[in-house]
Structure 1
Amino acid sequence: MAHIYKIFRAPEYAAFVQNGSTLGAPIDLADGYVHISTRDQVVETVAKHFAGEDGLKILAIETDTLGDALKWEVSRGGALFPHLYRELRAEDVIWARDLPLRDGVHQFDGLLS
Protein backbone atom coordinates (compact mmCIF):
# COMPACT_ATOMS: atom_id res chain seq x y z
CA MET A 1 0.00 0.00 0.00
CA ALA A 2 1.57 3.27 -1.13
CA HIS A 3 0.20 6.76 -1.36
CA ILE A 4 0.74 9.11 -4.28
CA TYR A 5 -0.28 12.76 -4.40
CA LYS A 6 -2.22 15.09 -6.70
CA ILE A 7 -2.12 18.87 -6.37
CA PHE A 8 -5.10 21.00 -7.39
CA ARG A 9 -5.72 24.72 -7.46
CA ALA A 10 -8.91 25.73 -5.63
CA PRO A 11 -11.15 25.96 -8.75
CA GLU A 12 -9.88 22.60 -10.03
CA TYR A 13 -10.55 20.99 -6.66
CA ALA A 14 -14.02 22.56 -6.44
CA ALA A 15 -14.90 21.16 -9.87
CA PHE A 16 -13.59 17.74 -8.82
CA VAL A 17 -15.74 17.74 -5.69
CA GLN A 18 -18.80 18.92 -7.61
CA ASN A 19 -18.43 16.33 -10.39
CA GLY A 20 -17.04 13.44 -8.35
CA SER A 21 -14.33 12.88 -10.96
CA THR A 22 -11.90 14.76 -13.16
CA LEU A 23 -9.54 14.28 -16.06
CA GLY A 24 -7.31 16.78 -14.25
CA ALA A 25 -5.92 20.25 -14.64
CA PRO A 26 -5.22 21.85 -18.02
CA ILE A 27 -1.73 20.27 -18.17
CA ASP A 28 -3.28 16.85 -17.57
CA LEU A 29 -5.81 17.36 -20.34
CA ALA A 30 -3.06 18.49 -22.71
CA ASP A 31 -0.84 15.49 -21.91
CA GLY A 32 -3.63 12.90 -21.90
CA TYR A 33 -3.18 11.64 -18.34
CA VAL A 34 -3.45 12.84 -14.75
CA HIS A 35 -0.04 13.87 -13.39
CA ILE A 36 0.60 12.51 -9.89
CA SER A 37 3.70 12.52 -7.69
CA THR A 38 5.19 10.20 -5.11
CA ARG A 39 6.02 11.32 -1.59
CA ASP A 40 9.61 11.92 -2.68
CA GLN A 41 8.53 13.96 -5.73
CA VAL A 42 5.62 16.08 -4.54
CA VAL A 43 7.60 18.84 -2.81
CA GLU A 44 9.66 19.46 -5.96
CA THR A 45 6.54 19.24 -8.13
CA VAL A 46 4.85 21.95 -6.09
CA ALA A 47 7.97 24.15 -6.11
CA LYS A 48 8.31 23.79 -9.88
CA HIS A 49 4.68 24.10 -11.00
CA PHE A 50 2.86 25.91 -8.15
CA ALA A 51 5.50 28.23 -6.61
CA GLY A 52 3.92 30.93 -4.46
CA GLU A 53 0.34 29.88 -5.24
CA ASP A 54 -2.07 30.01 -2.34
CA GLY A 55 -5.23 27.93 -1.96
CA LEU A 56 -3.78 24.61 -3.13
CA LYS A 57 -5.19 21.24 -2.16
CA ILE A 58 -3.13 18.08 -1.82
CA LEU A 59 -4.92 14.76 -2.35
CA ALA A 60 -3.61 11.38 -1.26
CA ILE A 61 -4.42 8.43 -3.49
CA GLU A 62 -3.86 4.72 -2.85
CA THR A 63 -1.87 3.15 -5.69
CA ASP A 64 -3.38 -0.32 -5.21
CA THR A 65 -6.87 0.87 -6.17
CA LEU A 66 -5.91 2.32 -9.56
CA GLY A 67 -5.13 -0.95 -11.35
CA ASP A 68 -3.70 -0.95 -14.87
CA ALA A 69 -4.71 2.70 -15.42
CA LEU A 70 -1.69 3.75 -13.32
CA LYS A 71 1.51 3.79 -15.35
CA TRP A 72 5.00 4.57 -14.05
CA GLU A 73 6.78 6.59 -16.72
CA VAL A 74 10.11 8.36 -16.97
CA SER A 75 9.81 12.11 -16.48
CA ARG A 76 11.73 14.86 -14.70
CA GLY A 77 15.36 13.90 -14.12
CA GLY A 78 14.81 10.38 -15.40
CA ALA A 79 12.64 9.48 -12.39
CA LEU A 80 9.56 7.29 -12.71
CA PHE A 81 6.40 9.31 -12.12
CA PRO A 82 2.87 7.92 -11.64
CA HIS A 83 0.50 8.86 -14.45
CA LEU A 84 -3.18 7.97 -14.33
CA TYR A 85 -4.72 7.10 -17.71
CA ARG A 86 -8.34 7.49 -16.68
CA GLU A 87 -10.36 10.00 -14.74
CA LEU A 88 -9.49 10.51 -11.09
CA ARG A 89 -12.57 9.58 -9.06
CA ALA A 90 -13.66 10.75 -5.63
CA GLU A 91 -13.45 7.17 -4.36
CA ASP A 92 -9.77 7.06 -5.35
CA VAL A 93 -8.93 9.79 -2.83
CA ILE A 94 -8.00 8.80 0.71
CA TRP A 95 -7.85 12.36 1.95
CA ALA A 96 -7.70 15.94 0.70
CA ARG A 97 -6.07 18.72 2.72
CA ASP A 98 -5.16 22.35 2.34
CA LEU A 99 -1.51 22.91 1.42
CA PRO A 100 -0.53 25.91 3.55
CA LEU A 101 1.63 28.68 2.13
CA ARG A 102 3.78 30.51 4.68
CA ASP A 103 6.23 33.23 3.71
CA GLY A 104 5.96 32.13 0.08
CA VAL A 105 6.81 28.49 0.84
CA HIS A 106 4.38 25.55 0.89
CA GLN A 107 4.34 23.72 4.21
CA PHE A 108 4.25 19.94 4.01
CA ASP A 109 4.97 19.22 7.70
CA GLY A 110 2.61 16.51 8.93
CA LEU A 111 0.70 16.31 5.63
CA LEU A 112 2.26 13.34 3.86
CA SER A 113 1.29 9.89 5.07
Structure 2
Amino acid sequence: MIYHIAYRADWAAARAAGRYTVSTRGVSLEEQGYIHASAAGQVAATANRFYAGETGLVVLVIDPEALSSPVRFEPPAPGVAELFPHIYGPIEVAAVVETVPLTADAEGRFRFSC
Protein backbone atom coordinates (compact mmCIF):
# COMPACT_ATOMS: atom_id res chain seq x y z
CA MET A 1 0.00 0.00 0.00
CA ILE A 2 0.94 3.63 -0.43
CA TYR A 3 -0.45 6.59 1.49
CA HIS A 4 -1.54 10.14 0.74
CA ILE A 5 -2.39 12.86 3.27
CA ALA A 6 -5.57 14.68 2.27
CA TYR A 7 -7.96 17.21 3.66
CA ARG A 8 -11.35 15.65 4.42
CA ALA A 9 -13.06 18.23 2.20
CA ASP A 10 -10.84 17.35 -0.78
CA TRP A 11 -11.52 13.65 -0.25
CA ALA A 12 -15.28 14.30 -0.07
CA ALA A 13 -15.10 16.20 -3.36
CA ALA A 14 -13.10 13.35 -4.90
CA ARG A 15 -15.66 10.77 -3.84
CA ALA A 16 -18.35 12.82 -5.58
CA ALA A 17 -16.21 13.19 -8.73
CA GLY A 18 -14.90 9.61 -8.77
CA ARG A 19 -11.23 10.63 -8.68
CA TYR A 20 -8.80 12.56 -6.51
CA THR A 21 -6.56 15.20 -8.14
CA VAL A 22 -4.81 17.10 -5.33
CA SER A 23 -1.03 16.72 -5.42
CA THR A 24 -0.29 18.16 -2.00
CA ARG A 25 -1.38 20.97 0.26
CA GLY A 26 -2.81 23.68 -2.01
CA VAL A 27 -1.32 22.25 -5.23
CA SER A 28 -3.26 20.35 -7.88
CA LEU A 29 -2.16 17.36 -9.92
CA GLU A 30 -2.30 19.59 -12.99
CA GLU A 31 0.09 22.11 -11.41
CA GLN A 32 2.57 19.55 -9.99
CA GLY A 33 2.38 16.79 -12.61
CA TYR A 34 1.97 14.02 -10.02
CA ILE A 35 0.39 13.33 -6.63
CA HIS A 36 2.72 13.11 -3.65
CA ALA A 37 2.41 9.91 -1.63
CA SER A 38 4.35 8.12 1.09
CA ALA A 39 5.28 4.69 2.31
CA ALA A 40 3.76 3.86 5.72
CA GLY A 41 6.94 4.83 7.58
CA GLN A 42 7.06 8.24 5.87
CA VAL A 43 3.54 9.47 6.69
CA ALA A 44 4.16 10.95 10.15
CA ALA A 45 7.33 12.81 9.13
CA THR A 46 5.59 14.21 6.05
CA ALA A 47 2.59 15.31 8.12
CA ASN A 48 4.79 16.96 10.75
CA ARG A 49 6.87 18.77 8.15
CA PHE A 50 4.12 20.02 5.84
CA TYR A 51 0.85 19.92 7.83
CA ALA A 52 1.84 21.09 11.32
CA GLY A 53 -1.07 22.84 12.98
CA GLU A 54 -3.58 21.61 10.39
CA THR A 55 -6.82 19.82 11.20
CA GLY A 56 -9.38 17.95 9.11
CA LEU A 57 -6.84 15.50 7.69
CA VAL A 58 -7.18 11.89 6.60
CA VAL A 59 -4.69 9.41 5.22
CA LEU A 60 -5.82 7.71 2.02
CA VAL A 61 -4.66 4.09 1.98
CA ILE A 62 -4.13 3.34 -1.69
CA ASP A 63 -3.74 0.00 -3.44
CA PRO A 64 -1.22 0.84 -6.18
CA GLU A 65 -2.34 -2.21 -8.18
CA ALA A 66 -5.82 -0.67 -8.47
CA LEU A 67 -4.54 2.60 -9.96
CA SER A 68 -4.64 3.25 -13.68
CA SER A 69 -1.92 5.89 -13.16
CA PRO A 70 1.74 4.87 -12.94
CA VAL A 71 3.58 5.07 -9.61
CA ARG A 72 7.27 5.93 -9.52
CA PHE A 73 9.52 5.95 -6.45
CA GLU A 74 11.61 9.11 -6.67
CA PRO A 75 13.39 11.61 -4.44
CA PRO A 76 11.11 14.52 -3.48
CA ALA A 77 13.78 17.11 -4.30
CA PRO A 78 17.24 17.22 -5.88
CA GLY A 79 19.90 15.96 -3.49
CA VAL A 80 17.48 13.98 -1.32
CA ALA A 81 18.28 10.25 -1.18
CA GLU A 82 15.01 9.00 0.34
CA LEU A 83 12.50 7.82 -2.26
CA PHE A 84 8.77 8.57 -2.14
CA PRO A 85 5.97 7.21 -4.33
CA HIS A 86 4.68 9.71 -6.86
CA ILE A 87 1.41 8.97 -8.66
CA TYR A 88 1.45 10.28 -12.23
CA GLY A 89 -2.27 10.81 -12.70
CA PRO A 90 -5.49 10.86 -10.71
CA ILE A 91 -6.32 8.45 -7.90
CA GLU A 92 -9.51 6.60 -8.68
CA VAL A 93 -11.78 6.48 -5.63
CA ALA A 94 -11.99 2.68 -5.97
CA ALA A 95 -8.20 2.43 -5.44
CA VAL A 96 -8.56 3.88 -1.93
CA VAL A 97 -9.15 0.88 0.32
CA GLU A 98 -9.38 2.81 3.59
CA THR A 99 -9.21 6.30 5.05
CA VAL A 100 -7.60 6.87 8.44
CA PRO A 101 -8.15 10.07 10.45
CA LEU A 102 -4.89 11.95 11.06
CA THR A 103 -4.87 14.05 14.21
CA ALA A 104 -2.06 15.55 16.23
CA ASP A 105 -1.29 14.46 19.78
CA ALA A 106 -1.17 16.76 22.84
CA GLU A 107 2.27 18.05 21.76
CA GLY A 108 0.97 18.87 18.28
CA ARG A 109 2.82 15.97 16.59
CA PHE A 110 1.26 13.60 14.11
CA ARG A 111 1.80 9.87 14.56
CA PHE A 112 0.80 7.18 12.10
CA SER A 113 0.87 3.42 12.12
CA CYS A 114 -0.94 0.93 9.99
TM-score normalised to structure 1 length: 0.82
Moved over 3 A (4+): none
CA distance in structure 2 between the partners assigned to 1:66 and 1:13 by the alignment: 16
Q: Which has the higher helix share?
A: 1
CA RMSD of aligned residues (A): 1.8
Point out the more displaced range, 23-32 or 87-96.
Answer: 23-32
**Cα displacement (A) at 1:107:** 3.7
Q: Unpaired segments of 5 or more residues in structure 1? A: none
| Percent of matched pairs sharing the same residue | 30
Name the CA shift for 1:98/1:68 in 2 (closer, same or farther; >3 Å).
closer
Matched, 1:35 2:33: no
**Contact 1:54/1:100 (<8 A) preserved:** yes
Report matched runs for 1:70-109 at 5 Å.
70-75=71-76, 77-103=80-106, 104-108=108-112
* Aligned amino acid, residue 27 of structure 2: I
**Cα displacement (A) at 1:14:** 1.6
Give the count of matched residue pairs.
108
Residue 13 of structure 1 aligns to a residue in which SS? helix
TM-score normalised to structure 2 length: 0.82
Residue 54 of structure 1 aligns to a residue in which SS? coil
